[in-house]
Structure 1
C-alpha cells in the first residue's frame, strides 16, 4: 500500500451487532477487551454520571457473568489473556486494589505494600503476570508488576526522576512497556525479564510506546525536536527502533499494533483533514478510505483488517482497501468498533432504541 486511499473488492457480509446486555438493574455496558477465543470483558453500568461500574465477563456466545469485587461494590476489568484470565481493579471505600480473575471468575486481590494506594491494573500476559500503576507513600505514580506467585515489584523510575507507568505486556510476560518522566517530558520505556527500567532508543525530546503485541513488539512515536512532528515507530522484541513512514510535517498518533506487526493510527497525512491510517509490514503508510469525511482506526488484526468508526458507525477496512460499515442495533443511531481479533470478531458499543450504550460484537464473514 502507498500513501493515499486504497480500493479493493467486496468481502463477506459481517453478522451483528449482537447486544451483550447488562447485569440485572444496570442500563448500559461497554466491552474493553477480547481474546482469540472470543471471550470478552468490560463493564456493566448504572445510574447518572458518574455511573457505577461493575466488572463483567462474556463468554464467546455472549453470556454475561458478574466478576466479584471483594471488599468493594464496584470495579473495572481492563484486560483478558488467551486463557480467559482477566485483570483490573476493585474500588473499596478508601482505595483501588488490583484484581486478577481466573477463568472461572474467582477473584484474587493484590495486597498492597504499606502506604501504597490507588493501584490499577491495565494488562495481563498469558502467563498471568499483571502490570499497572500505583501511588507510592509519597504520592508518586510508579509502575508495578504482579507475578502469579503473589510477588509484587515496584518497577521504579528513570534515574533521578519521580514517576513511571506500566501499560502493556507481551504474551510470555517477559517484556513490559510504559512511560516515564525524563527532563519533565514523557519517555517510552520498557522492562525486560524482570530487569530495571530502560528508555527506548533513541533518547529524544519525548516519546511514547504504550501499544504492544503478543510478541513484545511495541508501537508509538518519538519527537526529535520540541517543535517538530512526532515520528511514528515500532520497536522490535530486542528494543531495536524501526521508524515508520510519515511523509507529512503534521501530527500523527498511534492507536494499535496487530499480532503480525500492522500498525494503525490517525494523523494529518493529507491536510486539512485528519485520516485514519494503516502502516503495512514494510512500514509504508496509507490513508483508509473515508470519502473525505474523516474516520477513526482503533485496532488491526494479523491480516491487516482494521476496526474503527466511520460516519458514526463501527467500520472495518480490509487490507485490499474495501470498507464495510457494521451497522447499529435496532432503533439505534450510533456504533463504534474498538478491537478486532485475528479470527474476525469485532467488539465495541452501539446505542439502542432507548439511546443507551450497549456492549456489542460483530462477526466478519
Structure 2
C-alpha cells in the first residue's frame, strides 16, 4: 500500500509499513488488469527501439536504433495497433521525434552533416522543415501543442542557447533570455499554445521561467532562489524544484497563472520531479528515508504519498489524470494505482528487464523491455 505522509509535517518520518501488492484482477476504474507487453519492434536492420511520447489515441512516436553506443537514431511512429512507420528525415539520415499531439502531428529534429534542423511531421507522416532566421542553427524541437505550435531550443548567431517557438504559419520566434542574461530553455507547451514553460539563467543560477501569450520571458516566483520548472502538463501547469541558496531542495508546482504551490516534502534530503499529470498529480523520487530513494506522488492539493517499494527503492516516471503512476520496481515495469495497489507488468519472452515511462488517461502504458537476445525494444501494455 502507499504510505501517506501527513500534510504540514516538516521532520523526518519513518516509512516502515506493510505493502499490499496486487497480483490479480480488481474491477473498477481505480485498478485494471494489465495486458501485454506488445513488442513494437524496430525498423529493418535496426536492433533496439524506444517510445518517447504517446497521445490519447494510443499513437506512439520514438526511435529505432542501430549500432554500438552512441547508436544511430531513426525517428519512427507506431499506430495504435503497434505498426511501425519510418518518419522522413529531409536533409539527413538520422533524427529524433520528441512529442506528438492528439491530432497525430509530431515534432522533433533531423541531424544533417553539420547541424540539427527542427522538423514537424503531419498526421500522415509527411515532414516539414522548420525554417530558421538567418544565422540561427543547431535547433532541436522538444514539444508541440494541440494548435501546432512547436517549441525547442537553438543557438543564436552569437552562439547563445535560447528557447524558440515556431508557429503553424511558419514564423519562428527567439524566446530570448532574462534581462542582462544569455541563456534560456523551452521545455513544454500548453495545449492551446499560449504557455511555454522552461528555465533561464539569472545571476549564474537556474531559474524556473515561462512565456505567456507571446509575451517576454518572465521568472516564476519566488525571486532570490534557485529553481527549475523541468516538467509541465498540457494545461500550462509546471512542476520542479526550488532551493534557497543555502537551504534544502523543495518540491514545487506553479499553476496556469504562475502562482507557486509548494509540494509536501518532510525531509532535509534531495527530491526530484519527473512528471506532472493532466489534473495536477505530480510524481518524483527523493530521500525520505535514506539510503534508498523513495518513489512518491503528490495529489492535486500537494499532499505527499510514498509509493510501495518494500523499502528497496523504485523509479516512478509518469502519471495520468486519475493519479495512476508508472515506473520500474525490481527491474520490472510497474504500475501504482490510486487505491494503493502495486502491479508489476508482463515481460517479453526470455527477457529480464522492463521499464514503463509513459501512461495515457485511458490506460495505455508505454516503455521498454529486453528480449531473449538482451536487446531493448519499445513495448506497450494496456490496463483493461
Smaller-chain TM-score bracket: over 0.9
1:114 is displaced (CA, Å) by 1.8
1-structure distance, mates of 2:363, 2:159? 42
Indicate the residue corresponding to 2:288 in structure 1: 269
The answer on 1:363 being equivalent to 2:382 is: yes
Q: Is the 8 A contact 2:77 2:87 kept in 1?
A: yes
The answer on 1:86 being equivalent to 2:88 is: no
Q: Is the 8 A contact 1:204 1:222 kept in 2?
A: no
- Residue of 278, 282, 286 corresponding to 1:259: 278
2-structure distance, mates of 1:315, 1:218? 25
1:49 is displaced (CA, Å) by 1.5
1:116 is displaced (CA, Å) by 1.3
**DSSP 3-state at the match of 2:292:** coil
The answer on 1:245 being equivalent to 2:267 is: no
2-structure distance, mates of 1:27, 1:306? 29
- Higher mean C-alpha deviation, range 274-283 or range 33-42: 274-283
- Residue of 11, 14, 28 corresponding to 2:34: 14
1-structure distance, mates of 2:327, 2:298? 15
Following TM superposition, the consecutive aligned residue runs of length 4 or more in structure 1 with deviations greater than 4 angstroms are 4-10
Q: Which runs of 5+ in 2 are unaligned?
A: 6-14
- Higher mean C-alpha deviation, range 43-52 or range 93-102: 43-52
The answer on 1:354 being equivalent to 2:373 is: yes
Aligned length: 364
- Higher mean C-alpha deviation, range 205-214 or range 68-77: 205-214
Indicate the residue corresponding to 2:8 in structure 1: none
1-structure distance, mates of 2:266, 2:20? 21
The answer on 1:207 being equivalent to 2:227 is: yes
1:79 is displaced (CA, Å) by 0.3
The answer on 1:294 being equivalent to 2:296 is: no
Indicate the residue corresponding to 1:314 in structure 2: 333
Indicate the residue corresponding to 1:107 in structure 2: 127
Indicate the residue corresponding to 1:156 in structure 2: 176
**Superposition TM-score, scaled by structure 1 size:** 0.97
Indicate the residue corresponding to 2:153 in structure 1: 133
Instruction: List per-residue Cα deviations over 1:315-341 (Å, max 9, x = no partner).
Output: 000011100000211001000011111
Structural RMSD (CA) = 1.2
Indicate the residue corresponding to 1:281 in structure 2: 300
2-structure distance, mates of 1:152, 1:112? 6
- Higher mean C-alpha deviation, range 317-326 or range 11-20: 11-20
Instruction: List per-residue Cα deviations over 1:293-326 (Å, max 9, x = no partner).
Output: 1000100011110010000011000011100000
